[in-house]
Chains A and B, each alone.
Chain A
């Protein structure tokens, strides 16, 4: 029996030939990530243990991105815990305001994560890096503390569901729509404890940015991880970003930390296989209060909006900003709509300035913020009032997620978000 890409990566990091779904393993971790919400708890646990040094200063990454630039005194205190710890431990990867980006856009961009890696992060959207062909899973703060000490973590080897996306994508459809459609199909616990492996010609045609959005939301179906086997597009990206990139044998060896190119065997064992015909998928909108409440944008009816947010670890990348700018160019949003655009990293921000995208956004009546998770989790930079409705390119629309418990969040791709900002209601980009 062959192995899936996920089983291969886990086996390689356990120094074994194979692992079986359901088995408990303790695997070596290549990169461990924490942010300004989750790392303070991990650092507290680390200190209690009495251990003085993290297992490897180049493998523990801290990114204060959630409430930064500090939204208030208590959040400033939390960010300071990270800063002090990073200095004390002389961490190689610590990103403060000005260099900081939203962690799941930043780590791939900086080449800190790559194909074949095993990554854990005390943030549920750590599953994003699966787009690179890595095993990458969100964990808690205590998990992060344990890895900071030992460089290892316990995992239950997940079963894998294979998703096959056939055919060509319709215009305005992106990775975000494929994943929303899929979550709509299987539900918010449809892949509980499992890995979602995304395959098929439609996935192969996706850009890296679109693949990141897709794997980013695997957690919204309850999955442990999402993964796309590395191909030409991944290779190109890794060569450009990952300075440590050296293609290695398949399966990867545990100690060749970065950038191997594992794939699933043809006779790998899947607990389930689901196929979708992409010619039938149009841009999707998830209605409140679950990411699984999806509808095709043509069926949403009249939903007037108060705010539109384009950004987040799901859709704050270059491709997202370019699509939004394409729709917004030369147009103005109505005076009663707030359009907040958040480039996910400092480099993306700079590139958007160079390409004239920020000008388009500002002239349209939008605001462009420094990178932050901000409004996605109701932190700052665009929190909603009672009864307000927002359309966001983010990943969660739970009750009260973006502010008041009686506010509503709808989720979509950046093209739909931009078109909706112009129309003042949820709209299809073809209406512009």
Chain B
């Protein structure tokens, strides 16, 4: 999968209260959540962001609560990918499970500037900073995670797996 978009740069320890404050957690509608996406860090992010844009951040992105509303709000804005030096683990899980592409690259994250133009090739694990004419290689995901990602998220993964097991049981 190839993605292309403009960079929105954030710092370290962006927490889920900043991504989507708790007062908005009275809905699960991605479009509604998207209106307040990242407002704890950037008041006008939700207005400025365009479909395909890329969120780039420092260490420990998505720390704090387990609320899946956080990746849901980011996805709802049309953000195509989140790249950070590192991710908080529940946020990381949530993205894998719901199919929001994320990549860890400390170097790419450090050298990114607001409004840089980036191209990302997820299958090759490659980030291209077109503005700065730099290319970064990303550590590929382990096989197990790739299976979930290529199924289109955890729910499709288990339904295809369960289906397979059921067919196997029937056959024997």
CA distance A72 to B67 in the complex (A): 20
Binary B-proximity of A381-419 (CB < 8 A = 1, otherwise 0): 000000000000000101111000100000000000000
Max chain A Cβ within 10 angstroms of own Cβ: one of B86, B155, B162: B155
The answer to whether A140 and B60 touch (CB under 8 A), given A74-B27, A224-B89, is no
Q: Is the CB of B86 within 8 A of A192?
A: yes
Q: Is the CB of B158 within 8 A of A149?
A: yes
Q: Is the CB of A378 within 8 A of B23?
A: yes
Looking at B11-19, B49-57, B117-125, B129-137, the stretch in contact with chain A turns out to be B11-19
Tell me whether A41 is interfacial, beta carbon within 8 Å: yes
Could you say which residues of chain B place their CB within 8 Å of the CB of A399? 17-18, 40
**B side interface size, CB within 8 A:** 40
CA distance A74 to B28 in the complex (A): 11
CA distance A405 to B155 in the complex (A): 35
A149 nearest CB neighbor, chain B only: B158
Q: Is the CB of B17 within 8 A of A38?
A: no
A378 nearest CB neighbor, chain B only: B22
Tell me whether A270 is interfacial, beta carbon within 8 Å: no
Q: Name the interface residues of A183-210: CB closer than 8 Å to any CB of B.
A: 188-189, 192-193
Tell me whether B5 is interfacial, beta carbon within 8 Å: no
Tell me whether B65 is interfacial, beta carbon within 8 Å: yes
> Of B86, B90, B142, which contacts A124 at CB under 8 A?
B90
Q: Is the CB of B23 within 8 A of A189?
A: no
Q: Is the CB of B13 within 8 A of A188?
A: yes
Q: Is the CB of A192 within 8 A of B21?
A: no
The answer to whether A124 and B26 touch (CB under 8 A), given A189-B59, A189-B88, A378-B21, is no
Tell me whether B148 is interfacial, beta carbon within 8 Å: yes
CA distance A219 to B88 in the complex (A): 9
Tell me whether A429 is interfacial, beta carbon within 8 Å: no
The answer to whether A222 and B88 touch (CB under 8 A), given A142-B153, A150-B162, is yes
Q: Is the CB of A38 within 8 A of B142?
A: no
Looking at A44-52, A57-65, A330-338, A348-356, the stretch in contact with chain B turns out to be A44-52
A8 to chain B, nearest CB (A): 21
CA distance A123 to B90 in the complex (A): 9
Could you say which residues of chain A place their CB within 8 Å of the CB of B153? 142
Tell me whether B145 is interfacial, beta carbon within 8 Å: yes
Could you say which residues of chain B place their CB within 8 Å of the CB of A219? 90
Could you say which residues of chain A place their CB within 8 Å of the CB of B26? 67, 72, 74-75, 77-78
> Of B13, B66, B144, B145, which contacts A38 at CB under 8 A?
B66
Could you say which residues of chain B place their CB within 8 Å of the CB of A149? 158, 162
Binary A-proximity of B75-100 (CB < 8 A = 1, otherwise 0): 00000000000101110011001100
Tell me whether B159 is interfacial, beta carbon within 8 Å: yes
Tell me whether A40 is interfacial, beta carbon within 8 Å: yes
The answer to whether A396 and B64 touch (CB under 8 A), given A142-B98, A290-B13, A377-B22, is yes
B97 nearest CB neighbor, chain A only: A142
Tell me whether A286 is interfacial, beta carbon within 8 Å: no
Binary B-proximity of A295-337 (CB < 8 A = 1, otherwise 0): 0000000000000000000000000000000000000000000
Q: Is the CB of A379 within 8 A of B97?
A: no
Q: Is the CB of A142 within 8 A of B154?
A: yes
Q: Is the CB of B22 within 8 A of A379?
A: yes
Could you say which residues of chain B place their CB within 8 Å of the CB of A12? none
Q: Is the CB of A139 within 8 A of B155?
A: no
Max chain B Cβ within 10 angstroms of own Cβ: one of A78, A377, A379: A377
Q: Is the CB of A189 within 8 A of B17?
A: no
Q: Is the CB of A140 within 8 A of B59?
A: no
Q: Is the CB of A141 within 8 A of B68?
A: yes
A158 to chain B, nearest CB (A): 9
Could you say which residues of chain A place their CB within 8 Å of the CB of B8? none
Could you say which residues of chain A place their CB within 8 Å of the CB of B66? 38, 121-124, 126, 138-141
B20 to chain A, nearest CB (A): 11
> Of A188, A224, A379, which contacts B23 at CB under 8 A?
A379
Identify 28 residue pairs between A and B in the complex whose beta-carbon atoms are under 8 Å apart, listed by A's number.
A24-B144, A37-B25, A38-B66, A41-B28, A48-B155, A67-B26, A122-B66, A123-B65, A124-B66, A139-B66, A140-B67, A140-B90, A140-B97, A141-B94, A142-B94, A142-B98, A142-B153, A142-B155, A146-B97, A146-B158, A149-B158, A149-B162, A154-B144, A219-B90, A222-B60, A377-B65, A396-B17, A400-B18
